[in-house]
């Protein structure tokens, strides 16, 4: 594996060199700004080179191997867990039918308690009236972000507001159309 990893020293050095250039960049004027654009172009080109390199192929193979092994591991452990739980259920049924306690010290009864929210509106009412902590509910940020993206400034939800952030992006040459 070491020889495989050392094959990619060039890609790693390129990334380090670009980081050093950007770390040293101070944009104080238009020439510095143009230098920044050059660094972004260099970075985008470097990413394309890495995506087209054997490193990307090796990454994909490793990902697929990991996915396969993880799937086998999960199937095996899930199967064993289900079988073990089924056996314990049968043993519990036996003990319950005989109204006896387990004689083996390794066996014991464990109580597990879980919350079952059967009325979300009632829980939210209790939160709004201060009866319980707001920590008991978690917003569905995925759904809320989709609503904010669609509604923008027109989002009207109690306790929620749309927040816009702006970031500077860079179009690659293929994204720019010429007239």
Phi, psi dihedrals of residue 81, rounded to the nearest 5°: -60, -45
Phi, psi dihedrals of residue 96, rounded to the nearest 5°: -65, -45
pLDDT in tens, 142-160: 999 999 999 999 999 888 9
Side-chain half-sphere exposure of 65, counting CA atoms within 13 A: 6
pLDDT in tens, 29-59: 999 999 998 988 888 888 888 888 888 888 8
- CA 107/CA 38 separation, integer angstroms: 68
pLDDT in tens, 101-116: 888 888 888 888 898 9
Question: Are the C-beta atoms of 53 and 60 separated by less than 8 Å?
Answer: no
Band of pLDDT at residue 179, cut at 50, 70 and 90: very low
* Confidence (pTM): 0.47
Q: Which residues pair with 160 in a beta bridge?
A: 157
Indicate the Cα dihedral angle 142, 143, 144, 147, nearest 10°. Answer: 120
């Amino acid at each position: 594996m070491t020889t495989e990893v050392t094959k990619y020293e060039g890609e790693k050095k390129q990334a380090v060199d670009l980081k050093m250039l950007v770390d040293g960049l101070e944009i104080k004027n238009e020439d510095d700004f143009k230098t920044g654009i050059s660094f972004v172009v260099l970075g985008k080109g470097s990413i394309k080179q890495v995506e087209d390199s054997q490193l990307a192929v090796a990454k994909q193979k490793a990902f697929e191997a990991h996915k396969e092994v993880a799937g086998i591991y999960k199937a095996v452990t899930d199967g064993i867990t289900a079988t073990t739980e089924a056996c314990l259920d049968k043993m519990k049924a036996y003990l319950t039918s005989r109204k006896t306690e387990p004689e083996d010290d390794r066996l014991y009864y464990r109580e597990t308690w879980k919350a079952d929210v059967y009325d979300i509106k009632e829980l939210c009412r209790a939160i709004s009236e201060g009866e319980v902590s707001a920590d008991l509910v978690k917003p569905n940020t995925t759904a809320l972000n989709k609503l904010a993206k669609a509604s923008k400034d027109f989002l009207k939800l109690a306790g929620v507001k749309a927040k816009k952030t702006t970031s500077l992006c860079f179009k690659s040459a293929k994204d720019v159309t010429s007239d």
